[in-house]
Amino acid sequence: MAGPQLRTGAELHALVERLYPICRSITGDGVRQTLDIIGEHIPLDRHEVPTGTAVLDWTIPQEWNIRDAYVAAPSGERVIDFQELNLHVVGYSVPVRQRMPLSELREHLHTLPDQPSWVPYRTSYYAPAWGFCLAQEKLGALPDGDYDVVIDSTLADGSLTYAEHVVPGRVTDEVIVSCHVCHPSLANDNLAGIAVAVSLAQQLASAQPHYTYRFLFMPGTIGSITWLARNASRIDKVRHGLVLACAGDPGSLTYKKSRRDDAEIDRVMQHVLRSREHRVVDFSPYGYDERQFCSPGFNLGVGSLTRTPYAGYPEYHTSADNPGFVSPAAMEDTLGALLEAFAVLDRNRRYVNLSPYGEPQLGKRGLYDSLGGRSDAKQAQMAMLWVLNLSDGSHSLLDIAERAGLPFDIVDVAARALHDAGLVKE
């Protein structure tokens, strides 16, 4: 059964606000709670992968959960409180219950001296450690004395949780859309991406797409590695893909190309983004999960779409990445670009001209008459001529649109008209 639809920027932003307070990590109940909320909007297939499971060169770690954490000053006042902001605790901190002087406590405190009012986000996933994060201005005001330090957490055998949502297409070839669900209270990185992905899945389902679209909601790095390990035997089904992150900040759209550099998704995204303020960057093996999908053994045609890329804005991985930092308009713009891109991807066919010797007479087939009154009649006529000339089975409609300098939609309409007139076939 379809859940509540997310179409407007305000609805996307409301989901970000609802998810924001949850303490997420690469494992644990915060991820499950997040997937519960996503599952109210789209049906999910959830997977639990036990601690100790080998996934490619990695191993599923112990599961981390946290109930409370604080630092109490000599007066008894909580000066750092997990209940106020979950970024205050270093992710995956081991349990602690100690009393110690400020001089010893300082070794476990993290701040941002250049942004003295912001709290940083820190983790220690694969090395036992503990710590707290706080604003530099608060650290400077702490009095000397003994402090009570409590982290009520557990590290125990459990599982890693991820989920999939599939939008069936007319063919079983797949497009994957991946977002990470491991960050705690960080609105742009990556709650905005999650909200956009949910809406995208809902709208693609209504469009009855050509490709099958598989949405992946997973913890970063270890999640995509786990998915690839568990799906290696069917990876040839994946034709295209996108990693979606940082989808709601005020910056312009940024597309990072796949390792292949000229995969079809790379060309489609560049074509679509020309009508928007944007930039395109080359692939590098650092960033989000595109680096796992594009590792040399898999080498999938998977790019990454963000607004401002990771670490490219001061608020990145800090308490300033809150719901006020992301805007409904920016999320709507990201969603619009994705819908347009996937519409191009879905319709990008190759045709063969069935009358390739000389130019066929279009007038006697009523094709010129069909253009009467169109404001873009000249473009539409040129599109027909270009489609006829380049429909040799090796040029796609996107190839034709790019070479002709015409909008993809006009070339697609021309190809359909020529197909209906019996002049080309797929």
Q: What is the pLDDT of residues 126-178, one digit of tens each?
A: 999 999 999 999 999 999 999 999 999 999 999 999 999 999 999 999 999 99
Torsion angle in degrees (nearest 10) through CA of 415, 416, 422, 423? -10
Mean pLDDT of 225-242: 97
Predicted confidence band of residue 366 (pLDDT cuts 50, 70, 90): confident
Rounded to an integer, what distance in angstroms lies between the CA atom of residue 289 and that of residue 258?
11
pLDDT for residue 84: 98
pLDDT > 90: percent of the chain = 93
Predicted confidence band of residue 375 (pLDDT cuts 50, 70, 90): low
- Answer yes or no: is pLDDT of 121 > 70: yes
Mean pLDDT of 269-285: 95
Place of tokens 């697609």: 412
| Contact of 132 with 138, CB cutoff 8 Å | no
End-to-end Cα spacing for the chain: 35
Q: Characterise 145 by phi-psi region: left (phi > 0), alpha (psi -120 to 50), beta (else).
A: left
Rounded to an integer, what distance in angstroms lies between the CA atom of residue 225 and that of residue 245?
17
Query: According to CATH, where is 3.50.30.90 located in the chain?
Result: 63-156
pLDDT for residue 191: 98
Q: Class assignment of domain 63-156?
A: alpha beta
Mean pLDDT of 328-336: 98
pLDDT for residue 373: 59
Query: According to CATH, where is 3.40.630.10 located in the chain?
Result: 9-61+159-347
Mean pLDDT of 400-417: 94
pLDDT in tens, 16-67: 999 999 999 999 999 999 999 999 999 999 999 999 999 999 999 999 999 9
pLDDT for residue 368: 72
pLDDT > 70: percent of the chain = 98
**Is residue 189 marked as binding?**
yes
| Contact of 94 with 129, CB cutoff 8 Å | yes
What does the DSSP assignment read for 63-89?
EEEEEEEEEE-TTS-EEEETTT-GGGB
DSSP code, position 160? E
pLDDT for residue 371: 62
pLDDT for residue 255: 98
**Is residue 88 marked as binding?**
no
* Domain range 350-425, its CATH number among 3.30.420.40, 3.40.50.2000, 1.10.10.10, 2.40.50.100: 1.10.10.10
**Is residue 249 marked as binding?**
no
| Encoded tokens for 342 | 């996937």
| Contact of 15 with 34, CB cutoff 8 Å | no
pLDDT for residue 376: 74
Task: Give the architecture-level CATH label for domain 9-61+159-347.
Answer: 3-Layer(aba) Sandwich (3.40)
pLDDT for residue 372: 58
pLDDT for residue 2: 65
- Answer yes or no: is pLDDT of 1 > 60: no
Rounded to an integer, what distance in angstroms lies between the CA atom of residue 195 and that of residue 2?
16
pLDDT for residue 362: 87
Query: According to CATH, where is 1.10.10.10 located in the chain?
Result: 350-425
**149 phi and psi angles, rounded to 5 deg:** -120, 120
pLDDT for residue 374: 63
pLDDT for residue 3: 80
Rounded to an integer, what distance in angstroms lies between the CA atom of residue 165 and that of residue 290?
19
Q: Characterise 299 by phi-psi region: left (phi > 0), alpha (psi -120 to 50), beta (else).
A: left
